[in-house]
């Protein structure tokens, strides 16, 4: 038996013992629990004390991380080695946010210099737009921006804008991703083309959904401004030939290397709309927060390493206790898109059934992630969280100080997130419910009926991430925390977290189906698909 196999077996045995044990009982049994399971990193606090593991279980999880080679993999990752083995690429998004003067290399080739130069170009361009020095075709300054992308070219920038946007922004930013024409129609509605900038984000400049929307937006500009409307186009792409053919001026093209994966690209020119909308200083602060988490992840020992510990907690639930679903609930309306962002980050990265060597995986991989902003979700799916038949671990994210509004309302919000985490863990026993109902004078028969319905089983785990305020630096640290957490999980599951072959088949088939819907010859399909094509054709 290999050391890794033995470590997995030890973790599985620890989880079996944890099953019938109450999480709340561990606080009395383990005086060091809070000290070991509350970690500070990059000005974030991570509390894993409400997880189902004991400190001995934690040691078993740490042994798994060591046996699984997390530390060595981390070194290869930061060294720019081709950790994306199926595409023979590095995954070096940390270089995008590194302090100036850093010396990152992607597969031996220096990249920090080009990163710094691009950051300078982005800042200069953004400042020109924001100040009005860079004007549109009619001489009007740009006051609206349409960002067109999909997947990693949309989720990150959209989240950052929603999280940090001013109440009254100098530049209004709208995002378009869905090929459904309604998405673009809503984004363009009410805008003046003369003061609108269109940023198209596609590395290859061939993504079907993005280019369909981009062509429609370009036509909208040209209809109002003529050929001069092309001066309102900006591209984030590595395909200069395609951007030129589309009409984007070369000086409006911002590129990035193939060592930047889509779902890790918000730190690159993919985030240009945020640089323009928020200002270069805010974007640089976000990069600095992420870089601080990078430094923590790279240097902290595993037992005090926030991304590694969060990954191990999730693995303990996923693999040890057989819990395939996790909720992410930010108690900050500005972070309501965080669960959506994490769906792509985690499920696209680690939703794999074979290892990086092409062999069947030995363990279940990524959890399914869902969620939304608290307190809204308390009136939606928290009924299931508290009393449903499945135990669903939860990540709570809370912000101490609100960016705007009534401090009293912020205290109400904080009281709710604290109480929900406590309620999920401690529950409410049937005996306590019976005593309450008896004190109200209810008859015994009614108590027999109501008490089981009002009982909360509790013992439902959560992680708690606390930040002092929601500003660019804390947001950058939070996103980097989850990036590195996802990396650690991929290492232990022995999969490649940086490719996404699973998105290709449906896209390929859609091209075939589109040809048939447009009048092409019928292809070979299953009867159900053939019926749908026939019904919708023409």
How far, rounded to the nearest angstrom, does the alpha carbon of residue 159 sit from its chain's CA centroid? 9
Q: Interhelix angle for 306-315 vs 55-67, to 10°?
A: 100
- β-pairing, 38-41 vs 394-401, is unpaired
Q: What is the secondary structure of 67-87 as a DSSP string?
A: HTTHHHHHHHHHTT---BTTT
Ordered alpha helix ranges (H), 132-279: 155-164, 181-188, 208-225, 240-246, 272-278
Please enumerate in sequence order all residues whose Cβ is within 8 A of that of 391, keeping only pairs 6 or more positions apart, or say none.
321, 323, 459, 460, 461
CB half-sphere exposure, 10, CA atoms < 13 A: 18
- Local structure of 169: helix, strand or coil: coil
CB 484 within 8 A of CB 293: yes
347: DSSP letter: I
Look up residue 57 and give its two tokens. 């279980």
The Cα 392–Cα 384 span in angstroms is 9
What separation in angstroms does the CA of 7 have from each of 222, 308, 366?
62, 16, 19
CA distance 181 to 185: 6
Catalytic residues: 348, 379, 507
- The label of the residue with tokens 């309604």 reads 182
Using a 10 angstrom Cβ sphere, with 0-12 exposed, 13-18 middle and 19 or more buried, the burial of residue 518 is: exposed
Residues 298 and 78: beta-carbon distance below 8 Å: yes
Cis peptide leading into residue 375 (ω within 30°): yes
Cα distance between residue 275 and residue 263, in whole Å: 18
**Residue-level length of the chain:** 538
């Amino acid at each position: 038996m290999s050391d890794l196999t033995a470590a997995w077996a030890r973790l599985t045995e620890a989880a079996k013992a944890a099953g019938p044990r109450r999480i709340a009982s561990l606080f009395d049994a383990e005086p060091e629990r809070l000290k070991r399971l509350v970690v500070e990193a990059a000005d974030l606090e991570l509390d894993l004390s409400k997880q189902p593991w004991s400190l001995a279980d934690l040691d078993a999880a740490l042994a798994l991380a060591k046996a699984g080679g997390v530390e060595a993999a981390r070194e290869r990752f930061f060294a720019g080695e081709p950790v994306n083995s199926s595409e023979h690429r590095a995954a070096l998004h940390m270089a995008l946010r590194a302090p100036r003067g850093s010396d990152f290399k992607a597969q031996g080739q220096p990249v920090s210099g080009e990163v710094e130069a691009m950051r300078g170009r982005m800042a200069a361009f953004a400042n020109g737009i924001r100040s009005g020095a860079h004007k549109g075709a009619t001489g009007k300054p740009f006051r609206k921006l349409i960002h067109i992308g999909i997947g990693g070219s949309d989720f990150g920038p959209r989240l950052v804008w929603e999280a940090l946007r001013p109440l009254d922004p100098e530049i209004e930013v709208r995002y378009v991703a869905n090929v459904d024409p309604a998405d673009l129609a809503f984004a363009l509605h009410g805008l003046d083309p003369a003061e609108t900038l269109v940023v198209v984000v596609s590395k290859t400049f061939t993504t079907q959904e993005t280019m369909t929307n981009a062509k429609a937006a370009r036509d909208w500009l040209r209809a109002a401004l003529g050929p001069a409307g092309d001066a309102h186009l900006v591209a984030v792409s590595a395909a200069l030939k395609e951007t030129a053919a589309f009409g984007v001026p070369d000086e409006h093209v911002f590129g990035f290397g193939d060592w930047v994966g889509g779902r890790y690209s918000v730190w690159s020119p993919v985030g240009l709309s945020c640089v323009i909308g928020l200002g270069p200083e805010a974007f640089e602060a976000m990069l600095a927060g992420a870089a601080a988490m990078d430094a923590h992840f790279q240097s902290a020992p595993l037992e005090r390493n926030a991304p590694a510990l969060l990954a191990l907690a999730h693995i303990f639930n996923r693999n040890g206790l057989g819990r395939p679903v996790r909720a992410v609930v930010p108690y900050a309306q500005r972070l309501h898109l965080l669960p959506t962002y994490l769906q792509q980050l985690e499920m696209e990265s680690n939703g794999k059934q074979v290892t990086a060597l092409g062999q069947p995986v030995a363990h279940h991989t990524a959890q399914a992630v869902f969620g939304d902003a608290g307190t809204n979700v308390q009136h939606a799916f928290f009924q299931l969280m508290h009393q449903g038949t499945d135990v669903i671990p939860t990540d709570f994210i809370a912000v101490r100080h609100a960016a705007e509004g009534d401090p009293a309302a912020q205290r109400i919000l904080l009281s709710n997130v604290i109480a929900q985490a406590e309620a999920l863990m401690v529950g409410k026993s049937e005996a306590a419910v019976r005593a309450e109902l008896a004190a109200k004078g209810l008859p015994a028969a009614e108590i027999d009926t109501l008490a089981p319905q009002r009982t909360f089983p509790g013992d439902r785990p959560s992680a708690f991430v606390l930040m002092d305020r929601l500003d660019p630096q804390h947001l950058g640290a939070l996103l980097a925390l989850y990036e590195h957490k996802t990396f650690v999980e991929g290492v232990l599951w022995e999969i490649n977290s940086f490719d996404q072959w699973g998105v290709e088949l449906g896209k390929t088939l859609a091209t075939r189906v589109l040809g048939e819907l447009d009048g092409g010859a019928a292809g070979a399909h299953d009867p159900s698909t053939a019926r749908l094509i026939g019904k919708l054709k023409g």
